[in-house]
Amino acid sequence: MKSPFFAAFMLLQLFCMPLMASDTKKIKAYLMLAEFTDPSLGNYIESYLSISAKSVIYKPNQNGKYQSSIGVNILFSKNDSIYAYGKYNLLSPEYDDVNDIKLDFTDVQRFFLKPGEYTFELNIIDNNNPGQPFTYSQIVSSQLNISKPCMSTIELVDSYTKSDATNNRTKNRFEIIPYISSYYPEALNEITFYTEIYGLTRDIAQDESVIVNAYLEGFESGTHMTDFFRFQKVKSANIIPFLSSLNIKSLPSGNYNLVIEVRDKENKLIVEQKTFIQRNNPSFISTPETLTALNIANTFVEKIHTDSLNQFIKYLYPISSRLEVEYANNVVANTNILAKQQYFLSFWQKRNNLQPNTAWEEYYLNVLEANKLFKTQTRKGYATDRGRVYLQYGKPDSRLIYDREPSLYPYELWQYYKIDNFSNKRFVFVNTDLVSNNYFLIHSDAIGEVRDDRWQTRLNKRNNWYKSFDEEKANDQFGSFLRDAYDISR
């Protein structure tokens, strides 16, 4: 079973999006996109679509067997022009008995596109239960440039076989069945993945050795998970297919990045790619490393007044992993001052082993700024949604404040031009009580953040309680630049 958690990733990153139609029996579908390139044909985007077998209607076909049929329309457009299009019926496996239906069924399509930004649109309908088609759209980019070293999207893999066939599932003599989710439940103990490395010979001589590293890092902290790492030595070439796996049996529950990087013989980073994964592993109990042996003598922590330690530890929550927050809560509740000092030192040593004091001082200045900008009557700024985003991702490149539109709650639209490998990520905050400075995050297209495609309707609810919850875009009101502001920020 896939998690209800979802994340939408802009290319080059793989993204996973659960889709639901609004019919009586809802179609449950999962979508991912990925970008690769063919030196002779150009860049292409692959769409991976998975249909939940239990969410669709099966009827007898001409063979007398039970089968589902899903109508699929895929469109890539720009400036009212269509650049790629696919319309087809996706058929499930055939079954003799409806009680035998268990497996989801998947589809892979491939669309060649010139570099640029496009509107991707997907329409799906259950042909055996016709109703209003479900429509999903997303801005995507085709941006691979093999004139310099680069990497494809990291494709998560369900299974693979060697094959000389030529079809939408095959790449470099591998037939790959994609894993159409970023969620790994307890039953799965391995992550298998595939990527392609392009253009190394632009910087590295043909057949010269390079190292490809694959590892996990904490999503919130960026900490390298040393127990989940492997490497492979390969020869420089124009295209290098890389298929590998990591054992995650002992990976604690949490959010992570799967990182693949290429380094030269001097260990200089040439190119890297990341994709987000989420792990649910409740049976594996992880305890933070033993800190009792950590010596705080002559460190910056020794100079911190003990009365400030609890608050300083709480200041770390916006950039802490879930496990770190749980452990920190126990430390704060404890009266052991040394344990608090050791935890605080360990936290910053993980992030900057050479200069942990500098890392803390820089972060502390950001905390003071967040407290000044976003404090409310009852909360310090760091503990608010805006404060957390500010501290986790930094100061936004664009911050638009709208607090004088008569039909809308006061809201803010933040934009980050770059977050790690991701471009143009936006955050929408709203103040619904109108009197405080407490803005809540209601929508973002950044991975791991809350996403609500009906966020415009929620802003309009100040004066429009009759609005349907299913309506994704609110009607424009006089004086409102809501939709334009969000779209322009792309």
Instruction: For residue 354, give every residue at least 6 positions away whose Cβ sits within 8 Å of its Cβ, in sequence order, or none.
Output: none
359: in domain = yes
Asked whether 195 and 242 are in contact (CB, 8 A), the reply is: yes
Are residue 277 and residue 329 in the same domain, yes or no? no
| Residues 224-231: contacts with CB under 8 Å, at least 24 apart | 225/251, 225/256
Helix, strand, coil % (nearest 5) of the chain?
A: 20, 40, 40
Are residue 48 and residue 106 in the same domain, yes or no? yes
Are residue 206 and residue 270 in the same domain, yes or no? yes
Which residue's entry shows tokens 């307890």?
Answer: 186
Which residue's entry shows tokens 């991912």?
Answer: 32
| Structural domain that includes position 356 | 300-374
Are residue 197 and residue 265 in the same domain, yes or no? yes
418: in domain = yes
Query: Residue 42's closest CA among 119, 139, 117, 115?
Result: 115
Q: Could you tell me the CATH number of the domain that includes residue 67?
A: 2.60.40.10
47: in domain = yes
**What's the domain count of the chain?**
4
Point out the domain boundary residue: 316, 341, 374: 374
Point out the domain boundary residue: 85, 113, 144: 144
Point out the domain boundary residue: 251, 285, 319: 285
Instruction: For residue 257, give every residue at least 6 positions away whose Cβ sits within 8 Å of its Cβ, in sequence order, or none.
Output: 216, 217, 218, 219, 274, 275, 276, 277, 420
pLDDT tens-place values along the chain, 490 residues long: 333 223 333 333 334 555 554 445 678 889 999 999 998 899 999 999 999 998 899 999 999 999 999 999 999 999 989 999 999 999 999 999 988 888 889 999 999 999 999 999 999 999 998 877 888 888 899 999 988 999 999 999 999 999 999 999 999 999 999 999 999 999 999 999 999 999 999 888 888 999 999 999 988 778 788 889 999 999 999 999 999 999 999 888 888 999 999 999 999 999 999 999 998 887 775 555 556 667 888 899 999 998 899 999 999 999 998 888 888 898 889 888 998 999 999 899 888 878 899 999 999 999 999 999 999 989 999 999 999 999 999 999 999 998 887 778 899 999 999 887 778 899 999 998 877 888 999 999 888 888 887 788 878 765 554 334 344 444 544 345 556 666 655 5
Are residue 19 and residue 114 in the same domain, yes or no? yes
Sheet holding 411-419, edge to edge: 398-402, 411-419, 422-430, 440-444
- In whole angstroms, what is the distance from residue 63 CA to residue 437 CA? 65
163: in domain = no
174: in domain = no
